[in-house]
């Protein structure tokens, strides 16, 4: 069963340099621990063996030197051990001369209060002593033994120090391996870190013209840097080609839109004149149809020209004006063609902004017309203009079906058209209305957003910066600004 690590402590979430250092330290610790176990067992066994040999040699020497005498008068056994006291004092040992039951013989022990038990043939552990026994040669009678006991605390202390030194060596070796692994990993990952920082900078600035630094070593890091540099060159070339294609497309749209305005205006004027002079019903129907198509084409050309100006970054002439008047003008223009839709106006007067009257009129007109065209018959469209802090708020909401979920993030894109059971356009829209709304709002320093209304339909909110007290009359809404400069054909910079 795999151990469960906390989310932040999972090894796969560690930085690479720490993972490398951790692996080096773990391998080193494993090797040192195995070496310490083998060495500790071997040396500890050797220490115990030497200790037992010394113990056995000492008792054998004492047994050989001990003489057993018997008293002529009492017949009592009297052992003589010349070095008994000296040997006992040398190692804090206990020396006893005992019979086969372990009872000491009078006068032949260094510490009568300590019992070493009956004599045995091998070295045994009695209390805090290791005890060795050796029989004493004598003629006749019961056997006599010399017992030699030495404390084992000294040997255990020696073995404990051995394991302490080995453990300290394992710990120090592991720490040194960790430091060495971290140092090597930092040195190896430093070029990768610089490449990562440069890649983040390129991602933030979106400038693929930057180049990766040339690596001094011809290794995997150098190959990575070279590959990333080649990728950036390809991206830079692709961006240049795309920008050139967009520039050609924008120039074509601007030139075509400008060139089409004059003939379309002439065609519309002739059709309107022809409309008043035709008496036959069939001819009148044909002329009306041609005039409606021409008007729709003229609006499309105007939309394309406005977007082309916005793409070129050209601002039309602007003046302080009352946003409420621009919105009221758009409402009056939509009402005759709204059919059974009800347009409710909640427009607060006196909200002055700096802008182009035609563009703001087009913004409000597109929003209201969009609400009418995409809601069922009998729906209510509410147009509200109010102050929202330091900004003017234009809000158009309806009680229709709302914005389809799949189009939530695309309604302001160009040539995106929504279709559904509540759509009254029949797919005849150009898909530029809301794109123009966003373009005009952003060019005036404002913003636009779409959402759901409190009645269940859609809500479009435009916020524009408000002006302070500004004197001077506002230009008429819906009329062409005489200060606006017409684009020069063939020169996209003047769009």
pLDDT digits (tens, 9 = 90+) for 118-133: 888 788 888 778 888 8
Question: What's the rounded Cα separation, in Å, for the pair 491 and 248?
Answer: 12
Q: 281-311 and 220-277 helices cross at what angle (nearest 10)?
A: 150
Secondary element (H or E) of residue 397? strand 391-398
- Predicted confidence (pLDDT) at residue 9 exceeds the cutoff of 60: no
CA-CA-CA-CA dihedral for 191, 192, 198, 204, to nearest 10: -160
| Residue range(s) occupied by CATH 1.10.287.130 in the chain | 207-313
Tell me the two tokens of residue 259: 């060139």
Tell me the two tokens of residue 424: 């009254």
| Residues 413-419: contacts with CB under 8 Å, at least 24 apart | 414/307, 418/374
pLDDT over 90 for what percent of the chain?
14
Whether residue 97 contacts residue 81, with contact meaning beta carbons closer than 8 Å, is answered with yes
- Predicted confidence (pLDDT) at residue 261 exceeds the cutoff of 60: yes
Question: What's the rounded Cα separation, in Å, for the pair 15 and 189?
Answer: 10
| Residues 217-225: contacts with CB under 8 Å, at least 24 apart | 221/188, 221/191, 221/192, 221/195, 222/191, 224/192, 224/195, 225/191, 225/195
More confident of the two residues 338 and 190: 338
Q: 153-205 and 16-65 helices cross at what angle (nearest 10)?
A: 170
pLDDT over 70 for what percent of the chain?
74
**pLDDT one-digit tens code per residue, 299-325:** 777 777 777 766 666 667 788 999 999
Q: Count Cβ neighbours within 10 Å for each residue of 459-470 and write b for 16 or more, e otherwise.
A: bbbbbbebeeee
Query: pLDDT tier at 465 (50, 70, 90 boundaries)?
Result: very high
Mean pLDDT of 415-435: 60
What pLDDT sits at residue 11?
A: 56
Mean pLDDT of 367-374: 89
Length of the chain: 495
Whether residue 359 contacts residue 310, with contact meaning beta carbons closer than 8 Å, is answered with no
**pLDDT one-digit tens code per residue, 71-100:** 555 555 555 555 555 555 556 777 777 777
| Residue 397 burial (C-beta neighbours within 10 Å; 0-12, 13-18, 19+) | buried
| Residue range(s) occupied by CATH 3.30.565.10 in the chain | 318-494
CATH number 3.30.450.20 given to 318-494: no
- Predicted confidence (pLDDT) at residue 34 exceeds the cutoff of 90: yes
| Location of structure tokens 């610790």 | 29
Question: What's the rounded Cα separation, in Å, for the pair 199 and 206?
Answer: 10
What pLDDT sits at residue 216?
A: 65
Tell me the two tokens of residue 403: 């914005």
What pLDDT sits at residue 473?
A: 42
What spatial distance separates the first Cα and last Cα of the chain, rounded to whole Å? 70
What pLDDT sits at residue 173?
A: 92
- Predicted confidence (pLDDT) at residue 459 exceeds the cutoff of 70: yes
In this structure, what DSSP letter does residue 438 have?
Answer: H
Give 124-163 as a DSSP string: EEETTEEEEEEEEP-SSSS-EEEEEEEESHHHHHHHHHHH
**pLDDT one-digit tens code per residue, 324-358:** 999 999 999 888 888 889 999 998 888 999 988 88
Question: What's the rounded Cα separation, in Å, for the pair 100 and 259?
Answer: 134
| Nearest one of 484, 467, 466 to 475, comparing CA atoms | 484
Whether residue 327 contacts residue 480, with contact meaning beta carbons closer than 8 Å, is answered with no
User: φ, ψ for residue 344 (rounded to 5)?
Assistant: -105, 125
More confident of the two residues 24 and 112: 24
* Of 62-71, 140-149, 181-190, 210-219, highest mean pLDDT: 181-190
Question: What's the rounded Cα separation, in Å, for the pair 431 and 436?
Answer: 10
* Of 264-278, 304-318, 412-426, highest mean pLDDT: 264-278
Strands 319-322 and 144-151: unpaired
Looking at every residue in the chain, the average pLDDT score rounds to: 76
Residues in contact with 441: Cβ distance below 8 Å, sequence separation at least 6, in sequence order: 363, 447, 448, 462, 463, 464
Whether residue 402 contacts residue 416, with contact meaning beta carbons closer than 8 Å, is answered with no
Bridge partners of residue 135, in order along the sequence: 145
CA angle 422, 428, 430 (to 5 degrees): 110
Query: pLDDT tier at 134 (50, 70, 90 boundaries)?
Result: confident
* CATH fold group of domain 207-313: Helix Hairpins (1.10.287)
Question: What's the rounded Cα separation, in Å, for the pair 277 and 495?
Answer: 38
3-state percent helix, strand, coil for the chain, nearest multiple of 5: 50, 15, 30
What pLDDT sits at residue 148?
A: 80
What pLDDT sits at residue 493?
A: 35
Q: pTM for the complete prediction?
A: 0.46
Lowest mean pLDDT, pick from 9-18, 19-28, 471-480: 471-480
Residues in contact with 195: Cβ distance below 8 Å, sequence separation at least 6, in sequence order: 212, 213, 221, 224, 225, 228
What pLDDT sits at residue 138?
A: 62
Lowest mean pLDDT, pick from 32-41, 255-264, 376-385: 255-264
């Amino acid at each position: 069963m795999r151990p469960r690590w906390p989310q932040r402590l999972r090894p796969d979430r560690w930085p690479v340099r720490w993972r490398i250092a951790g692996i080096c330290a773990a391998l080193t610790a494993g090797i040192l621990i195995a070496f310490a176990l083998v060495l500790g067992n071997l040396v500890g066994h050797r220490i115990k063996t030497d200790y037992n040999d010394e113990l056995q040699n000492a008792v054998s020497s004492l047994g050989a030197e001990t003489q057993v005498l018997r008293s002529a008068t009492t017949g009592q056994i009297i052992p003589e051990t010349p070095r008994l006291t000296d040997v006992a004092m040398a190692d804090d040992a206990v020396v006893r001369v005992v019979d086969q039951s372990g009872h000491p013989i009078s006068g032949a022990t260094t510490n009568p209060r300590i019992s070493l038990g009956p004599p045995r043939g091998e070295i045994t552990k009695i209390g805090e002593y290791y005890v060795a026994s050796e029989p004493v040669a004598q003629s006749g009678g019961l056997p006599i033994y010399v017992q030699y006991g030495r404390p084992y605390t000294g040997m255990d202390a020696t073995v404990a120090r051995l394991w302490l030194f080995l453990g300290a060596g394992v710990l120090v070796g592991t720490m040194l391996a960790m430091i060495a692994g971290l140092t090597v990993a930092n040195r190896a990952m430093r070029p990768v870190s610089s490449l990562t920082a440069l890649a983040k900078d390129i991602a933030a600035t979106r400038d693929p013209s930057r180049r990766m630094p040339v690596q001094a070593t011809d290794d995997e890091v150098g190959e990575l840097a070279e590959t990333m540099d080649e990728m950036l060159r390809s991206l830079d070339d692709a961006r240049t080609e795309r920008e050139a294609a967009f520039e050609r497309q924008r120039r074509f749209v601007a030139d075509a839109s400008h060139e089409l305005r004059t003939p379309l205006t002439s065609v519309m004027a002739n059709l309107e004149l022809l409309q008043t002079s035709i008496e036959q019903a069939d001819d009148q129907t044909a002329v009306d149809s041609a005039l409606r198509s021409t008007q729709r084409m003229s609006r499309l050309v105007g939309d394309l020209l406005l977007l082309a100006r916005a793409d070129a970054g050209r601002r039309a002439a602007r003046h302080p004006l009352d946003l409420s008047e621009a919105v009221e003008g758009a409402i009056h223009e939509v009402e005759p063609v709204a059919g059974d839709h009800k347009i409710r106006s909640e427009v607060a007067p006196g909200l002055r902004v700096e802008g182009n009257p035609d563009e703001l009129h087009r913004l409000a007109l597109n929003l209201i017309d969009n609400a009418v065209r995409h809601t069922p018959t009998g729906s209510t469209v509410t147009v509200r203009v109010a102050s929202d802090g330091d900004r003017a708020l234009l809000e158009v909401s309806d009680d229709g079906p709302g914005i389809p979920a799949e189009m939530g993030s695309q309604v302001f894109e160009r040539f995106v058209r929504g279709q559904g059971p509540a759509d009254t356009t029949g797919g005849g829209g150009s898909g530029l209305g809301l794109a123009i709304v966003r373009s005009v709002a952003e060019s005036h320093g404002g913003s636009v957003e779409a959402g759901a209304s409190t009645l269940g339909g859609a809500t479009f909110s435009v916020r524009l910066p408000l002006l302070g007290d500004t004197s001077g009359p506002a230009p008429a809404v819906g009329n062409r600004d005489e200060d606006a400069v017409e684009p020069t054909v063939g020169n996209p910079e003047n769009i």
